Structure 1
């Protein structure tokens, strides 16, 4: 059973983190030429959409957003797809693009490894960068985020729960602790 412990980010703090990440992406890449956002399902997708909206507000450029299902690259499922969000479900053309993978929480690094494998099957990107709302540590693989909303050192008994209105009807990030009964 999980017990609520601490509110890490409220709605305004999530918005500020996304705005900061957007500015960092523009600065690091010297603009948005050939940049694509790829949200890792489930909560990475709405975060990528929010990030695209922020990038458009800053630079007046529509950055394409894609949705990535990494389940084919994991041990537990056998599906795969990566497609653009919108009326035409177009496949990602990765060659010579800067791809920013977007996810909610970076933990062991295994989800990101699966996403990298999926993207590499679609071509050869110029760069692949990683943007996460929360980095909680405990990496099992040598993976780090290029853009982080908030670093939150956690214990292995704790869980970071990202709740977004698109999936959970509220915007907040909470730290919960496993309670043994």
Structure 2
């Protein structure tokens, strides 16, 4: 459960409210369908821990937009692929990887909530190769913090691009774990 007390002391600015978030997810799904009309050979992989909430929403909406079309969907934990795994005081607790299919020769769409430095995506690319060699990898993110990149990684699908300073954080709240749906800028 998220402790909201520290957040109340910080300045919060809403980036996307519940309605805007739903519209953004719908738009992202339509963009995916525009680039993958029949979703053949397309797989969706959500990144643990927070990217899976977005990927769950994307997956469910794609099923609604393309009923009867199979879309392989998996969840990827990158804990042991991180470049800071055993460094610093922060403890990285692994979650569960659930990919019950090969990605060999597939069109993979990686899904994460916030693209910041690019290091999470680099780790995901390394981890993903354990499941095969995809034909192509695309990146779908809800929020792109474009001026914070440390690696040359850019998203193919973006919900919203924001400019923020390094001391600010972006937090995506989802109904399931957080009892609200909203994207906020903290700091």
| TM-score relative to the length of structure 1 | 0.88
SS at match of 1:26: helix
* Paired residues for 1:1-181 under 5 Å: 3-60=10-67, 61-74=69-82, 75-76=84-85, 77=92, 82-84=97-99, 90=100, 92-137=101-146, 138-177=148-187
Contact 2:48 2:95 (C-alpha < 8 Å) held by counterparts: no
Query: What CA distance in whole angstroms lies between the structure 1 residues aligned with 2:180 and 2:94?
Result: 29
Contact 2:44 2:108 (C-alpha < 8 Å) held by counterparts: yes
Contact 2:143 2:161 (C-alpha < 8 Å) held by counterparts: yes
State the partner residue of 1:87. Answer: none
- What's the CA shift string for 1:67-122, capped at 9, x where partnerless? 110001013258585314xxxxx3x3110111111000000000000000011222
Give ranges in structure 1 of 5+ residues lacking alignment.
85-89
Contact 1:72 1:80 (C-alpha < 8 Å) held by counterparts: no
Query: What CA distance in whole angstroms lies between the structure 1 residues aligned with 2:118 and 2:70?
Result: 29
SS at match of 1:156: coil
| TM-score relative to the length of structure 2 | 0.85
How many residue pairs were aligned? 171
More strand by share: 1
